[in-house]
Homo-oligomer: A and B are copies of this chain.
Amino acid sequence: MSSFTPAQSDDVSIATIRALAADVVAKANSGHPGAPMGMAPVAHVLYSRFMNVNPKNSKWFNRDRFVLSNGHACALQYVLLHLLGHKLSMDDLKAFRIEVTTGPLGQGFGNGVGLAVAQAHLAAVFNKPGFDLINNFTYVFAGDGCLMEGVASEAASLAGHLQLGNLIVIYDDNHISIDGDTAVAFTENVEQRFSSYGWQVLHVDNGDSDLPAIHKAIVEAKLEKNKPTIIRLKTTIGFGSKQQGTHGVHGSPLKADDIQALKTKFGLPADQSFYVPSATYDAYAEIGKRGASLEAEWNSLLGSYGHKYPQEHAELLRRISGELPANWEQSLPVYKSTDPAQASRKLSEITLTSLAPVLPELLGGSADLTSSNLTKVKGSVDFQPPSTGLGNYAGTYIRYGVREHGMGAIANGIHAYGGIIPYVATFLNFVSYAAGAVRLSALSGHQVIWVATHDSIGLGEDGPTHQPIETAIHFRAMPNLAFWRPADGNETSAAYLVALKSRKTPSILSLSRQNLPNLEASTIEKAAKGGYVVHEVEGEDLTIVSTGSEVAIAVEAAAKLNAEGIKTRVVSLPCWFVFDKQPQEYRMSVLRSGAPILSLEALSTAGWAKYSHEQYGLPAWGASGPYQKVYEKFGITGSNIAVVGKKVADFYKQRGAPVVSPLVKAFTI
């Protein structure tokens, strides 16, 4: 691999990739042909000379990872997958866009950093002298748009700090974005910027045809072991089109005559669409063979490793499989109602401390709020480059810096690698900074656990800028995301239980800064259903449904109401997502017909009408002050909620009509 040996098929393969990308987008009549056509040479050199992948087993653990961060160029990825012999037929190419989509700009860059973090970590944990089992590279293609996004800047700065030598980013410097020439908005010196982050910076001036230069840059990138590398590759967007180098080829299909002329220019049959010369198929079949043989070698190495290190071998296989160790749940803390009140962020720390020894796949971190989030298990080592003297790559705690969005995107990449369950932390309100990454966790099914502390006006003095209002409903409305707001110790354990078992679902654990008493009725089992009855009475006049820090207030209000003869039940609903998955019969037993249901949460009431007839919460922003005073200001106290509860009970009694549970619906979608 040290110097480039041209193959006869190189030129025709690159021409084929370019023509296929144009065909795919034209046939779909929607898409981005320009970047795939411009990046065809580097994609071909990378795949034909460097990528260690086995199309027959796309899950091979030590494969090189490839991320297309400029995801609108996905036609390129589809074409490559097809040529390599993945399960992507020519018919699939023709049906481009029906089943698969790719990510918003900047995310892939962060994912790439996460993949490289995961590789470095697992290598440090499992590799042994003579057993360089985990040593793959992560290649990221990124465009101008990716590099403009803050999420990529955050991830890049951290990647430089972390000295991730196996991360190689190829920046398609084609000078065109949707608004036209990047000169209108993006004139920074990208090379200098990445140099400032501590990256190795290389460049290729002619990315359109100088294959040896592309090859040389990738070789150099691989040789630098202590820095991530960015290769600035100058390309001509839509190379070969009559409109090459212009915005005209960025996001619209090429015209039919343009495609024909392009094929003629490239020596391909002008009248054939989706044409692949046999030389190209043959060349790509060789790549597959090389990958298969590399995997076979690796499997053999893994076998020897198993003989010499049977325990590590078994553990590695378990980690790769994603199965949790037997009986790990027994390490979850269990509480009695007589146990002292604690903040749920503290309960989370206790849980993490208890789980860390049995679940080494937990790789935690915080966006510079460690002492507030309480996410670092005592005695744990930082994930740091050894040269810093601050930790090592086997360390299980990442200092993300004040980079919430980057942290979220990196965590997605860590989970995508396999063998690790990442948890990340910030204040609940600042999970919103990372909303783009959280959304992709949910959409792509990444098991990322957000430890989101300081989850209401209960944080007190920091005031409205830090006090979530709309945050809970934002994430509750996101598909495939479990938003937990536990009320006590057992509920916190339940949240971790379900989050850790949900291999395809991210979770946000919304946790209090202030102390919460342990409920009498709570158990891990009940809370793991997402909702359950905390205080039961028959023939009730009212049910109060609440979550997190307000459940104890609801219990206090109910006690007052019951004392006044207004029979009041209390329901805790820590996770809507999980509760909604329970059988209708169970749900109806929790939020039953017969009496009005009043919701209580120190957040916006938005969304609660799904589970209740009446809603109590914050009318607008929070306020700054000691937390008890802030709660009083907004009437979220046992005595005021008792007053409100009485109003609700009276109101529905006066109405006279039978009260039907809000869960009773005319149809389901």
Contact = CB atoms under 8 A, between A and B. Distances in A.
A24 B579 CA distance: 47
A666 interface: yes
A214 B145 CA distance: 37
A537 interface: no
Contact of A470 (B190, B429, B478): B478
B473 A607 contact: yes
Interface in A114-146: 144-146
Interface stretch (A6-14, A44-52, A78-86, A400-408): A400-408
A384 to B, nearest CB: 7
A557 B439 CA distance: 32
A187 B198 contact: yes
Contact of A154 (B148, B197, B406, B620): B148
Nearest to A606: B477
A105 B405 CA distance: 13
Contacts of A195: 189, 192, 196
A334 interface: no
A525 B482 CA distance: 42
A104 B368 CA distance: 13
A463 B666 contact: no
A104 B466 contact: yes
B150 A617 contact: no
A483 B436 CA distance: 19
Contact of A151 (B150, B369, B607): B150
A403 B105 CA distance: 10
Given A470-B478, A666-B596, A465 B187 contact: no
B435 A432 contact: yes
A356 interface: no
A521 interface: no
A30 B625 CA distance: 10
A149 interface: yes
Q: How large is the interface on A (under 10, 10 to 19, 20 to 34, 35 or more residues)?
A: 35 or more
Which of A185, A439, A607, A655 has the most chain B CB atoms inside 10 A of its CB?
A: A185
Interface stretch (A92-100, A164-172, A486-494): A92-100
Nearest to A659: B657
A460 B97 CA distance: 10
Interface stretch (A217-225, A300-308, A336-344, A645-653): A645-653
Interface string A439-467: 11001000000000000000011111110
Given A443-B464, A470-B478, A667-B614, A401 B185 contact: yes
Interface stretch (A175-183, A278-286, A346-354): A175-183
Interface in A465-484: 465-466, 469-470, 473-480
B188 A462 contact: no
A5 interface: no
Nearest to A435: B432
B465 A102 contact: yes
A103 interface: yes
A335 interface: no
A371 interface: yes
Contact of A185 (B97, B161, B430): B161
Contact of A667 (B151, B369, B609, B648): B648
A502 interface: no
A477 B608 CA distance: 11
Interface in A652-669: 652, 655, 657-658, 660, 662, 665-667, 669
B157 A149 contact: no
A639 interface: no
B609 A662 contact: yes
A184 interface: yes
Nearest to A433: B436
A31 interface: yes
A426 to B, nearest CB: 10
Which of A429, A624, A655 has the most chain B CB atoms inside 10 A of its CB?
A: A624
Contact of A193 (B146, B193, B370, B433): B193
Contacts of A101: 462-466, 624
B666 A30 contact: no
Nearest to A479: B620
Contacts of A154: 148-150, 153
Interface string A548-581: 0000000000000000000000000000000000
A387 B429 CA distance: 41
Contacts of A621: 443, 479-480
A310 interface: no
A419 to B, nearest CB: 24
Contacts of A88: none
A535 interface: no
A450 to B, nearest CB: 15
A508 interface: no
Given A443-B464, A469-B478, A607-B477, A150 B148 contact: no
A541 interface: no
Q: Which 8 A-B pairs have the closest CB atoms?
A: A150-B150, A101-B463, A609-B609, A185-B401, A651-B666, A192-B196, A477-B606, A470-B477
16 contacts: A30-B460, A101-B624, A104-B430, A149-B402, A150-B152, A150-B406, A153-B154, A157-B186, A158-B185, A184-B401, A470-B479, A474-B477, A477-B604, A614-B667, A644-B667, A657-B660
Interface of A: 28, 30-31, 71, 97-106, 144-146, 148-154, 157-158, 160-161, 177-179, 182-193, 195-198, 366, 368-372, 382, 384, 388, 390, 399-406, 429-430, 432-433, 435-436, 439-440, 443, 460-466, 469-470, 473-480, 596, 604-607, 609-610, 613-614, 616-621, 624-625, 635, 644, 647-648, 650-652, 655, 657-658, 660, 662, 665-667, 669
Given A191-B196, A614-B666, 15 more contacts: A103-B465, A150-B405, A177-B402, A178-B370, A178-B372, A185-B399, A188-B196, A188-B198, A432-B436, A443-B465, A469-B477, A473-B606, A609-B610, A613-B666, A614-B665
